[in-house]
Structure 1
Amino acid sequence: MRFKHLKGFTAGAGIGSLGGMIGLGGAEFRLPLLVAYFRIPTLQAIILNKACSLIVVAVAIFSRQASISWTQIWPQNHIVLNLLIGSLVGAWWAAGKAIKLSPATLNRVVFVLLAGLGCVMLAEASFPFENGGGANWFANSYWLTMAGVLAGLVIGMVAALLGVAGGELLIPTIVLLYGVDIKLAGSLSLLVSLPTMLAGFLRYRSSGDFSVLRDERHLFFSLTAGSILGAILGGLILGWIDERLLMFGLATLLLLSAWKTFHHARNTQTC
């Protein structure tokens, strides 16, 4: 049992370090690990991953205050609220649907979403952006608001179904849609992610699989502790490795792990 906890801490630290170097929490990599390596059923793994992500994101919000202060964030609160209108609804709806899906269907949905995130990461590695354009994508405030709600809706659904913070989608959305600097966009994305994940997390409480937090509490604590430590270390060594190369490698790893996890889950069910 202790060896399992050590493996959880080590895995969390490794994933957190890699994610921290590119500004992500690593939840998209934790999910395949929980299913394929720790043999946790997909829905339970999503719930466990989401609980871990909630703590990691909460820590990240306060740890970023050294570089992005609240005085910089507050004037952009309308962006957070705009995205939250859609993301809260999306997270609540998607979590409710996930509870009712058969394991086979849920595995396929998760596979498609993880593969989609991998493709997004590949695109970001191939066509990087550093700063926003300084202007909103839509000059008309009505269309900008509608676009923000729609984007939030999709991101909220993805976050609920994978147990992730959704930074891979939120940061590009905030940069491109609202013309915000990428560093500030990172902090704004966390403020959207936290309540969005909390909404999905509360929705999952009606599922019997929520008991995984009690049954696997020791793994949860060790994985969360490792993830937090890894994210901090990853941020400290930021710049030591070419970010585009690292992003490309992690995207490839995510695609491979998503494929292997999907087939592992399918084979387990058919045995």
Structure 2
Amino acid sequence: MTEQTDDSLTPPRAALVGIVGGTFSGLFGLGGGIVMVPLLTSLGGLTQRRASAYSLAAILPAAIVGSIPYLTHQAVDLIAAGLLVVGSVIGAVVGARLLARVPESLLRWLFVGVLVAGIVRSLLDAFGEPPSVDTAEGLPSVLDGAGMIGLGLVMGVASGLLGIGGGQLAVPGLSALFDFAPALAKGTSLVAMIPTAISGTWVNARNRLVHLRMAALIGLVASAFSFGGASLSVMLSDDVASIAFAALLVFALVQQVRKAIEKQRH
């Protein structure tokens, strides 16, 4: 398997990816890998494989910083987060090992599926009814606990393989399956992503798919600029923000499909 080097990802380009990705993530309250991976392939010039690895590593500082407000406002179900981690840490290792082996073309089309799911979810957020559970409710039932571990496993595999965070799977999963309100689902997912990103990035670093210092630069810059994006978000209603985010993902989807088709022709 021939991999391109990371020569195209210079520190200025890495910082630019962090600025754009962090601003959009803060502005729309979503993002993570679903925004970062397309930026890393377009602005950063990385292959899909390396973009996934860099995105997962860059999520780590963003998850640490982003989880602080949720923890201080008690918008994290620590028991649910722990159950997610039981599955997600294992899943991230599996996903990262797959990342080193899965063909590049398949990775591109899998990410197309992620973008389509993100568009659908954003439109459902805009026009659907919000869930009701907005605070931690104590110990879950055995069935719910098993479900959360299973959700964490799926979340971990997707994170390790595609470089996406918990926002694309854990948040809608917690909302749909366990009736978590958006803030509680996001906070719980962010806390669970910290050990998830560590385990997947450990495998990617051993496979030499990521330069940790460059990924840290992206993540730290993104974390800083997410605050600016969040301050701009007050000018948008939740429905408008969801529709605008869906439009952004449609643009990314068109670019991803075009690139996938071009690569298949060569």
Judge same fold: TM > 0.5, yes or no.
Answer: yes
Q: Secondary structure at the match of 1:237?
A: helix
Deviations 1:204-233 (A, max 9, x none): 23424x2x417xx55x45533431122111
Distance 1:150 1:157 in 2: 11
1:239 aligns with 2:234: yes
* Equivalence for 1:248: 243
Deviations 1:99-135 (A, max 9, x none): 1111122222222223222322222222151642889
* Equivalence for 2:225: 230
Stretches of structure 2 lacking an aligned partner (at least 5 in a row)? 1-6
1:40 aligns with 2:46: yes
CA gap 1:26/1:205 in 2 versus in 1, 3 angstroms: closer
* Equivalence for 2:96: 95
CA gap 1:101/1:242 in 2 versus in 1, 3 angstroms: same
Identity %: 21
**Superposition CA RMSD, Å:** 3.1
Distance 1:222 1:205 in 2: 16
Deviations 1:43-97 (A, max 9, x none): 111111111111111122235455x25xx64xx3221122222222222222211
* Equivalence for 2:171: 171
The Cα shift of 1:241 comes to 1.1
CA gap 1:8/1:267 in 2 versus in 1, 3 angstroms: same
Kindly report which structure 2 residues correspond to 1:90-239, keeping only aligned pairs within 5 A, or say none.
Answer: 90-129=91-130, 131-132=132-133, 141-208=141-208, 210=209, 212-213=210-211, 220=215, 222-239=217-234
Greater shift, 122-131 or 143-152, is seen at: 122-131
CA gap 1:236/1:131 in 2 versus in 1, 3 angstroms: farther
The Cα shift of 1:7 comes to 4.7
The Cα shift of 1:4 comes to 5.8
Q: Secondary structure at the match of 1:205?
A: helix
The Cα shift of 1:257 comes to 1.1
The alignment of Structure 1 onto Structure 2 pairs a total of residues equal to 259
Stretches of structure 1 lacking an aligned partner (at least 5 in a row)? none
Which letter maps to 1:119?
A: V
Query: Is the CA contact 2:17–2:40 (under 8 Å) kept in the aligned structure 1?
Result: no
**Which structure has greater helix proportion?**
1
Which letter maps to 1:200?
A: G
The Cα shift of 1:193 comes to 1.0
Greater shift, 174-183 or 41-50, is seen at: 174-183
Scaled by the length of structure 2, the TM-score of the pair is 0.82
Query: Is the CA contact 2:34–2:114 (under 8 Å) kept in the aligned structure 1?
Result: no
Scaled by the length of structure 1, the TM-score of the pair is 0.81
Distance 1:124 1:52 in 2: 26
* Equivalence for 1:81: 82
CA gap 1:222/1:205 in 2 versus in 1, 3 angstroms: closer
Which letter maps to 1:194?
A: I
2:64 corresponds to which of 55, 58, 67: 58
Larger RCO, structures 1/2 (Cα 8 Å, 6+ apart): 1
Query: Is the CA contact 2:167–2:189 (under 8 Å) kept in the aligned structure 1?
Result: yes
Query: Is the CA contact 1:27–1:53 (under 8 Å) kept in the aligned structure 2?
Result: yes
Which letter maps to 1:162?
A: L
Distance 1:205 1:223 in 2: 16
Greater shift, 119-128 or 96-105, is seen at: 119-128
